[in-house]
Amino acid sequence: MLTNAEIIERGNRYVMSTYGRAPVALVRGEGIRVWDADGKCYLDFVGGLAVNSLGHCHPKVAASLAAQARTLIHCSNLYWIEPQVRLAQRLVELSGLGQAFFCNSGTEANEAAIKLARKYARSQGGPERYEIIAMEKSFHGRTLGALAATWQPKLREAFEPLVPGFKFVPLNDLSALEAAIDEKTCAVMLEPVQGEGGVHMAAPDYLKEVSRLCREKGLLLIFDEVQCGLGRTGRLFAWQHGEVRPDIMTLAKALGGGVPIGAMLAGEAVARAFVPGDHGSTFGGNPLACAAALAYLEVLEEEDLVGNAARVGVYFQERLQELAARFPLCQEVRGRGLILGMELSRPAAPLVDAAREAGLLINATSGNVLRFLPPLGVQPSDVDEAMEIMYRVFEGIEA
Ligand SMILES: *Cc1c(COP(=O)(O)O)cnc(C)c1O
């Protein structure tokens, strides 16, 4: 077994430097706790960036993976795959959408959504209808199509020219959206709760109006629920908080209980625009990942984790509000369920480092926003434990 220092030294030598990494290597996890290579234990409120929604190594996911690994790990989409078919049926029943496509990540799910939207719009309105309107502060992934839908200039600039056909408008500004729509527009794409952009919520009324506008203008509505979906906001899908349903929805992060899988769902009429050869993925929807995802959805229901996320999310947000009232460097607390952000008047990174040293993993996004994404089964006592560390960290920063 290597130590933190040994792993970091080798990593710096052999792994491409695409991440700013904390100086610890995590080697083991159980529930809401993880351990590093030197044996130090942490309370995990990063949760694999919204992936470990069941906590670490949930026994049901582990058992399902082990059983499927002994039966059939991979066979290719040239053949029908029972766990994939069952997962598609389950997601369709839960979402009210029509059909599913499977891939391996969030960015791939969004690539699939962009391609499907273009193909469908072309079949309806011709090849000139290909533009997608996305939101400022959006994050949809890092492959070239999904990156073109991602707003943040510093993620995009070095890789231009990107895929053409994307425009950005501010979130929650209906008239800006209305003004941006023209004869080229085929779809509107947004995260009901923006994650990487700093935990910004689309207002329920705004979503309703966007949905109405899309129907009126014959545009597809695409929701990226890669981060906010699958229970995190206290509903299975974040759009279920309002009276809207998208035409296309993307999922990934939490779906496989820690195993890579992404999904793109669409209403049946839109979904049928894809015909054999239009899109594909060697690993997408493989038996192993689908078995994990089926276990994920079962555990959500058995343990009422969506309800827990709603309940404990309210408690956690109240505790964060108390903290914010006490320390002037806290500007705002926002979010829903267990996707929560605290905007600071200064860079968040030193607080993230101090919290980690004190045994709490949290994350900073957009420079000055602390983000909290604990497992959906987090208990009020875990929140109290985290808050105790947070108070100490904030006192230390202020001093
Ligand atoms: C993380 C994320 C993605 C990208 O997912 P990957 O699995 O990292 O490719 C896309 N959209 C949103 C909203 C995300 O949070």
Tens of pLDDT, residues 246-290: 999 999 999 999 999 999 999 999 999 999 999 999 999 999 999
Q: Which atom of ligand 1 is nearest to the CA of 146?
A: 10
Taking the complete model, does pTM exceed 0.85, yes or no? yes
Q: Distance between CA atoms of 311 and 245, rounded to whole angstroms? A: 24
List the strands of the sheet with 369-372, edge to edge: 330-336, 339-344, 369-372, 363-365
Give tens-digit pLDDT for 177-201: 999 999 999 999 999 999 999 999 9
Distance from C-alpha of 203 to C-alpha of 287, rounded to nearest angstrom: 38
Q: What is the mean pLDDT of residues 113-134?
A: 96
Is-catalytic flag, 44?
no
Is 398 exposed, middle or buried, given 0-12, 13-18 or 19+ CB atoms closer than 10 A?
exposed
CATH 3.90.1150.10 domain span(s) along the chain: 4-58+304-398
How many C-beta atoms lie closer than 10 Å to residue 121's C-beta?
25
- Model pLDDT for residues 40-75, shown as the tens digit of each residue: 999 999 999 999 999 999 999 999 999 999 999 999
Residues with Cβ within 8 Å of residue 127, at least 6 apart in sequence: none
Position 277: which residue type?
G
Which has the closest alpha carbon to 172: 145, 207, 213? 207
139 is an active site residue: yes
**CA 39 to centroid of ligand 1, rounded, Å:** 30
Is the CB of residue 119 less than 8 Å from the CB of residue 278? yes
Pick from 196, 239, 373 the residue to mutate for probing ligand 1's pocket: most ligand atoms within 8 Å of its CB. Answer: 196
pLDDT digits (tens, 9 = 90+) for 308-339: 999 999 999 999 999 999 999 999 999 999 99
Query: Among the atoms of ligand 1, which is closest to the Cα of residue 105?
Result: 7
Q: What is the mean pLDDT of residues 217-225?
A: 98
- pLDDT score of 243: 87
Side-chain half-sphere of 328: how many Cα atoms within 13 Å? 2
Per the CATH hierarchy, to which homologous superfamily does domain 4-58+304-398 belong?
Aspartate Aminotransferase, domain 1 (3.90.1150.10)
Asked if the model's pLDDT at residue 399 lies above 90, the reply is no
Catalytic residue among 253, 274, 372, 394: 253
CA 113, CA 267: separation in Å to the nearest integer? 12
Q: Domain 72-302 maps to which CATH number in 3.40.50.620, 3.30.450.20, 3.40.640.10, 3.90.1150.10?
A: 3.40.640.10
Q: For the segment 237-252, what is each residue's pLDDT rounded down to a tens digit? A: 999 998 899 999 999 9
pLDDT digits (tens, 9 = 90+) for 65-108: 999 999 999 999 999 999 999 999 999 999 999 999 999 999 99
The Cα–Cα gap between 214 and 394 comes to 45
Ranges in the chain annotated CATH 3.40.640.10: 72-302
Give ligand 1 pocket residues (Cβ under 6 A). 105-107, 110, 139-141, 191, 195-196, 224, 226-227, 252-253
Angle between helices 82-95 and 287-302 (to 10 degrees): 40
What pLDDT does residue 156 have?
96
- Per residue in 132-161, is it b (16+ CB within 10 Å) or e — as a string? bbbbebbbbbeeebbbbbbbeeeeeeeeee
224 is annotated as an active-site residue: yes
